[in-house]
Amino acid sequence: MRNHLLFAGVWLLVLPPSADAGTHKPYRWQRRQSDIEPLSRRVAPPKGFSRSSVKAGSYASWLRQLPLLPRQSPVRSYRGRLILPAKHPALLAVIDIDVGKRDRQHCVDAIMRLRGEYLWSVGKGGRVGFAWAGGRRFGFKAWKRGLRPVKQGRRWEFVAKSKPSRGYRSFRRYLGFMFSWTGTMHQRGERRVRPEQLQGGDFFVQGGSPGHAVIVLDLATDGAGRRVALLAQSYMPAQDVHVLRGPQQGWFPLEAGKTIKTPLWPSVFSWKDLRRFRDAR
C-alpha cells in the first residue's frame, strides 16, 4: 500500500517497507508479555563498572534491550516442562522469546536465532546465513527463492524445490530448518575474535556431541579497564533462552589468558572458543 504525505505544500509518495523489514518492530516474534522490561533496566553493572558504549541500532544495542519475562519466571522446555526453577542459583533472568514447538532451538541455535532476528528487524533479512552441515553456507536469501539442499552423488547442491516465499513466517521456517542441519561443530568455523575485539553478540562455542555455546549479551568496564559480561544460553532439550548468573553481581569477569566457567556446563570456555558470525552478502 502506498501513502502520501503533505510537506511544504508538496505531496510526497511514501513507499512501504521492504518485505525483509518485518513490521519495524525491534523484536518481531510473539512475546508472552505485552510490556517490555529490557535487560539493561533490570540488570545493572557491578559496583564501579559502567556499560560499554555501543552504537545506536547495532546488534550489541539490540541485545542490551532484549525483553525479559517477569521476575521469578522459571526456565521451561519447548513442551512446558520445568527446567530451572525461578530461584535456581544459576539463573539471572529469562528472555521473552519463544522456543518453538519442536526440540530444535538448542544452545548455538538460540544464538543463530538472535542474530537472525536482529538482521530481520533492521531490514537485512537477506543477509541472514549460517554454516550448514553440508559444508557450505546456506542463507535466507536462497531459501526464499525456493532453493533447498539436495544430495547429488557425493555432493550437496542447492536446487529449486519449493515455491518462492518471503515474509516472517518463511524466515522462521528457514531458521527451524537450519537448527536441524547445523550445530556447534559447524559454528566453530565462524570468525575468531581476539579478546581485545570482544563485543556484544560474540559467542563462546565448543564443538562436540554435545557441544555447547553461550552468547555475550552485554559488556561493562571499570576505570582500570577490567571487563565483565552478561552471558546467556539455551540448552537441551530446547528451552527458554536465559541469562546466566555470574559470580560478580550476576556478571562474569573476563580476563585475557583466563578461562570462563559457566554454571550447568562442565567444561570451561577459553578465549580460543570466541567467535563472531559472518553475515551473508
pLDDT digits (tens, 9 = 90+) for 90-141: 999 999 999 999 999 999 999 999 999 999 999 999 999 999 887 789 999 9
Task: State the pLDDT confidence band at 36, using cuts at 50, 70 and 90.
Answer: confident
Average pLDDT, the chain: 91
Three-state SS annotation for 71-112:
CCCCEEECCCCEEECCCCCCEEEEECCCCCCCCCCCHHHHHH
With the C-alpha atoms ordered 21, 125, 54, 240, is the resulting torsion angle positive or negative?
Answer: positive
Instruction: Parse the chain into domains and list their residue ranges.
Output: 22-124+190-276
Report in angstroms the alpha-carbon separations of 126 from 136, 175, 276: 17, 13, 18
C-alpha cell belonging to residue 229: 559480561
Mean pLDDT over residues 55-72, rounded?
97
Report whether 103 contacts 123 (CB < 8 A). no
pLDDT above 80 (res 84): yes
- Percent of the chain beyond pLDDT 90? 80
Q: What pLDDT score was predicted for residue 4?
A: 43
pLDDT above 80 (res 59): yes
- Provide the 8-state DSSP code for 239: B
Task: State the pLDDT confidence band at 32, using cuts at 50, 70 and 90.
Answer: very high
Mean pLDDT over residues 8-34, rounded?
61
- Percent of the chain beyond pLDDT 70? 91
| Helix or strand run (H / E) with residue 113 | helix 107-121
Mean pLDDT over residues 148-156, rounded?
86
Mean pLDDT over residues 29-53, rounded?
95
- The DSSP string of 180-210 is HH--HHHHTTSEE--GGG--TT-EEEE-STT
Q: What are phi and psi of 174, to 5 degrees?
A: -60, -45
Angle formed by the axes of helices 107-121 and 168-181, to 10°? 150
pLDDT above 80 (res 278): yes
Mean pLDDT over residues 82-86, rounded?
98
Q: Which long-range contacts (CB under 8 A, 24 or more apart) does 25-31 make?
A: 25/121, 26/62, 26/65, 26/121, 27/66, 27/67, 27/96, 27/97, 27/117, 27/121, 28/117, 28/120, 28/121, 28/168, 29/97, 29/98, 29/117, 30/98, 31/67, 31/96, 31/97, 31/98
CA 106, CA 38: separation in Å to the nearest integer?
A: 23
Count of H-run helices and E-run strands, the chain: 6, 19
Mean pLDDT over residues 26-36, rounded?
91
Q: What pLDDT score was predicted for residue 254?
A: 97
Task: State the pLDDT confidence band at 154, using cuts at 50, 70 and 90.
Answer: confident
C-alpha cell belonging to residue 208: 562436540
Q: Which of 43-47, 158-162, 219-223 has the lowest mean pLDDT?
A: 158-162
Mean pLDDT over residues 22-49, rounded?
89
Report whether 214 contacts 232 (CB < 8 A). yes
Q: What pLDDT score was predicted for residue 281?
A: 66
CA 243, CA 68: separation in Å to the nearest integer?
A: 10
C-alpha cell belonging to residue 236: 537441551
Task: State the pLDDT confidence band at 6, using cuts at 50, 70 and 90.
Answer: very low
Question: Is 144 exposed, middle or buried, given 0-12, 13-18 or 19+ CB atoms closer than 10 A?
Answer: buried
pLDDT digits (tens, 9 = 90+) for 180-231: 999 999 999 999 999 999 999 999 999 988 899 999 999 999 999 999 999 9
